[in-house]
Structure 1
């Protein structure tokens, strides 16, 4: 590296040396000694000959000083220039060394400054991280406080709502007590529904004395209202009272609203008590076991009197039935109970009366079927059959008059007898008296009266069947005796048998009807 630098300096000094008049010859070319030596030095230095592998120092000197003239005249200026160049290079080196030493100190200072900045940046990052953690903790605490406040708000809202409901319940119970004492049933019914709805919100607070006291008052008021309603119905639900007191019927109608607002068993008990009176009156007239002097009323011949009594009673007490809500179906419920009681009575009569006259039996059956049809028309009942007391055999029982004309197969008769036997067993298990009151009044909307009473005759149609059989056999015997066994007469005989049999059954049915 130093050798290349020296060659360059030599070339530079040679280039700056003063020209000499002598001529030099390098490579066969005659050149001016001083001017040509500088150019050669520059050319040699520019080609970096010192770094070449085939560098030859002698050849290089020969090119610088090709002859003696150039050697004598160009050495001193070249040396002077080389020394000047050396001094400049030394000065530059010294300056570079000084600059390098100054740059190292500056670099060290810069490094220290960078390290300080990095440390400060790291400190700031740690501070920011700590503040972020503090902010996160603060946010969590704020969220926790918000949850607490939200829960407190919800509880406070629930408490305020409960207090309002409690205040409304207290006021409603007090008003209900006043209305119950005054027997203002319509307002009491509305308050009963309101108190019942408000009380549902306090079922879980019965251990609180105030709530327990209100529940106790509510129960006492309902008991008082029930007693008042039953008392008013007992003293007011009479045709004479309803006719004389115009306010009696509306008051009882309002009392029914109270009954609807009370427990379901209150309605069943009220309707049961009222209908039981009618059943007792009916039983006192038509039950042979207690009829006494009116024993004729319990005979099978008086069955149409039973039905007349029921229709007359329904017609005479239409105003009484009007106090009940239509959905209660009290008249229909009473009529169904009377029909079932009548069926029980007829079963007792048929079981204990012994052999019965066929005409009386058929007449009673015909009157019974007519009554059932009238009751269906009166109440607008459906044709699905009653749910109890002969509902299964209602279709066949309603077709007894068709059986009288067309006859019934042995399978149908056996099926009827089997059903009647089961019904009789059920009646015996129930004591042979009226069936329990049916509290499901809505089921009566589709119930039919067909077969409710007439089903009691199915097990006692043996005399009628025997009579028809005897008449048919007598008719066949007569026709056989009169038969000429001719083809035409034979056909006529068959037609005559069918015609006479049909007319015979129709005649019996008509006589029974």
Structure 2
């Protein structure tokens, strides 16, 4: 069953006659056969309400059955009609159709044959037309070429006539035409002799015209009376020359410029010129200015503006001047003695650069224009080393002059008094004061001179000359200043203010030099940036600053400890007669001395420098005080009064070491608690050393002298990690318990190594004063520290023999074992080592105990020999 839709018939328009016939023939009672059938109305009539929808399926089935019936009727009708048409003879109809198709095929083949004949005819006709078209194009090209040839011949003849009469205004368009037409015939020159002859004639004509233009332009502009009849038009002649070709235009410009520079060459060429020296360079600039004015007033109107003859004149001038200067400079520096003034050489380089910049600004306006920069000035670069050497010698002379002054001028004022002068370095506003208080005026002048030289050098060169002057020469000057001015004044034991100025000048160098180096690095050419390095000069300044700080520390410490030394070594009055008042008076005088010196240091140094001075003075005082306890007291401390006096003196020393730096710093700054907090902690830690020394000296047991010496001197090796009192007492006790072994003599060298042989053997007596030489306390401490490590190695070896581990039974971590046979003691190597040896008893390693006992004895003898002899000449 076919499916139908109302849309299938929506666009069908039936003829009115058909509609009328249908309305007349069909049953009027069937709504489907009505001519004005309306589907919507028909459905609404079929289903008037919702209740009627229940019959929708039945009605749909009825409609579909009716449609199927109609299809069958239509099919039958068509078949009956077809049968009537063929009258029942279908085979005849098929034969007729076949015959018709054959006839149609034959007609088509006939048409194809006639079409092929027509195509052949068309191709024949078209070939003739194409040949005619090619012939037409050839004829047209020939006619055009003949016309152009005629035009070329005619233009050549006219140009010849006008050129002979010097009528350049008429020659200009003819030259343009001849040049353009001749380019068209250039490909024909090898094939056609006549064309070749014509073009050769054209070339000779233009060459003659070029020569005439050059001659007439030169004669008209530079030869008075050359054109008496005023027939020559110079501007038209220039245009004609430009029409001939660009090279002819360049020849005209070069001819004009060289004619103007002929006088310049005569006046300034080396060596025959009237003004052929460097001193006459100002005249060169004046000549160029006059020549440009002459050109603008007399000749500018003759030349086309696009030629820019004035720029070309300046370029020719620059190149010629460069050659002159190269000859002059080469001759001046060829001999063993350089005859040219270095300052003049530099000034000329600067002036030529200024001239180049002015010309470049005036004439190099567009992209692709030739720049004037460097044309002349670059010739000075190889010879500016003369100026560099001269300036270096001036810098060195300035340094020597500063070094020769016995009382050099110092800039600045004390901190806490008046503001620093404006010419001195500015003070910091936040944080610790790090700007120098006192500086030598000479160092400020030196850097001012170097900055001026850098600025001057920047104006003439940013390449090798800048590197030679601003790096190498500056290094030489700074090295010389560090050595001859700063270091020499520290070595010469100058006044306190001079020492402060040295320290401040070193800070000024370390603060200012990096800024100057940064400016140089930003300016110098890229390949040389990596070679800018002033690390050596910075390091030298820092070393000199450290020497100055050490000098200031030593002075403050010496004046303080001198008063205590006088009291301790006073042989006129027995120690028992001294009372607490005497000790207080001594410490009070030492306190005032140290406070005064530190106050001066605080006002003359920066805060970090002052802290270093205070710590250095404290360390020196404590070290000298410990040495004083050994060398100044020649009898045992066997009375309670003397012990109390030394204890009181040590306590007073600690008090003044804690208070004096704070009081001194208060004169220069308001807030000193934070700055001196670290100092106080270090002072308290280091004061444990003299307290330990005093306790060791007060032990009243026989045979302890050598052990006191080695214990205390071991402590002196590193004062920042002083062993406790308990460690010292235990070390003394252990050493005493080891005095019952066999005998052994050890020869101790300066490096602490022992010449001991096998266990129990003797290698000779202890070192004497003659083969050891004078030995300071610090040297003796180093000797003992190394010797002590050797002894501990033997203890470890003894333990290994008896099967006892080397790290058991209370050994402290006081050393770091190195390679086989060596060890490096830590800061508590002396006392800590003694404590560690307590695990070795007499029963297990008596030989080791004997070695220890003999070593203590030898060390004590050396100490007494050296220091007692040095204190009793």
Distance 1:126 1:232, change over 3 A: same
Q: 1:324: which partner in 2?
A: 303
The 5 Å alignment of 1:128-147 reads: 131-147=114-130
CA distance in structure 1 between the partners assigned to 2:211 and 2:154 by the alignment: 23
Q: Deviations over 1:364-396 (max 9, x none)?
A: 33433343344335x4336x9xxxxxxxxxxxx
Work out which of the two has the higher radius of gyration on C-alpha atoms and give 1 or 2. Answer: 1
CA contact (8 A) 1:286 1:298 kept: yes
Matched, 1:493 2:452: no
Q: 293, 303, 306: which is aligned to 2:281? A: 303
Distance 1:343 1:458, change over 3 A: same
Q: Secondary structure at the match of 2:271?
A: coil
CA distance in structure 2 between the partners assigned to 1:508 and 1:128 by the alignment: 103
Q: 447, 466, 473: which is aligned to 2:371? A: 447
Distance 1:118 1:266, change over 3 A: closer
Matched, 1:347 2:326: yes
Q: Deviations over 1:176-225 (max 9, x none)?
A: 22222222223222122222222233233333354334323322321221
CA contact (8 A) 2:409 2:441 kept: no
Q: Deviations over 1:124-146 (max 9, x none)?
A: 98876665444333222112122
Q: Secondary structure at the match of 2:292?
A: helix
Matched, 1:177 2:160: yes
Q: 1:476: which partner in 2?
A: 399
Distance 1:146 1:491, change over 3 A: same
Structure 2 alignment gaps of length 5 or more: 1-98, 333-337, 415-435, 457-873
Matched, 1:274 2:253: no
CA contact (8 A) 2:412 2:437 kept: yes
Q: 312, 316, 323: which is aligned to 1:337? A: 316
Q: 174, 181, 188: which is aligned to 1:191? A: 174
Q: 1:467: which partner in 2?
A: 390
Distance 1:478 1:328, change over 3 A: same
CA contact (8 A) 1:222 1:262 kept: yes
Q: 226, 230, 239: which is aligned to 1:257? A: 239
Q: Deviations over 1:282-311 (max 9, x none)?
A: 2221123333xx3xx111111111221222
| Larger RCO of the pair (alpha carbons < 8 Å, separation 6+) | 1
CA contact (8 A) 2:169 2:237 kept: yes
Q: Secondary structure at the match of 1:341?
A: helix
Larger fraction in helix: 1
Distance 1:488 1:286, change over 3 A: same
The number of residue pairs the alignment matches comes to 330
Q: 1:502: which partner in 2?
A: 448
Could you tell me how far 1:230 is from its partner in structure 2? 1.9
CA distance in structure 2 between the partners assigned to 1:153 and 1:210 by the alignment: 25
The 5 Å alignment of 1:233-248 reads: 233-238=217-222, 240=224
CA distance in structure 2 between the partners assigned to 1:245 and 1:320 by the alignment: 19
Distance 1:371 1:485, change over 3 A: closer
Distance 1:137 1:314, change over 3 A: same
Matched, 1:315 2:293: yes
The 5 Å alignment of 1:1-400 reads: 131-206=114-189, 207-238=191-222, 240=224, 251-291=233-273, 294=274, 297-318=275-296, 319-353=298-332, 354-377=338-361, 379-381=362-364
Structure 1 alignment gaps of length 5 or more: 1-114, 385-441
CA distance in structure 2 between the partners assigned to 1:348 and 1:119 by the alignment: 110
Q: Deviations over 1:234-290 (max 9, x none)?
A: 321227569998765xx1111111111213332333333333333433222112333
Q: 1:52: which partner in 2?
A: none
CA contact (8 A) 1:468 1:505 kept: no
CA contact (8 A) 2:152 2:181 kept: yes
CA contact (8 A) 2:411 2:439 kept: no
Q: Deviations over 1:44-77 (max 9, x none)?
A: xxxxxxxxxxxxxxxxxxxxxxxxxxxxxxxxxx
Q: Secondary structure at the match of 1:183?
A: coil
Moved over 6 A (4+): 117-129, 242-247, 484-487, 507-510
CA distance in structure 1 between the partners assigned to 2:270 and 2:102 by the alignment: 121
CA contact (8 A) 1:324 1:330 kept: yes
- RMSD (CA atoms): 4.1
Q: 2:15: which partner in 1?
A: none
CA contact (8 A) 1:287 1:298 kept: yes
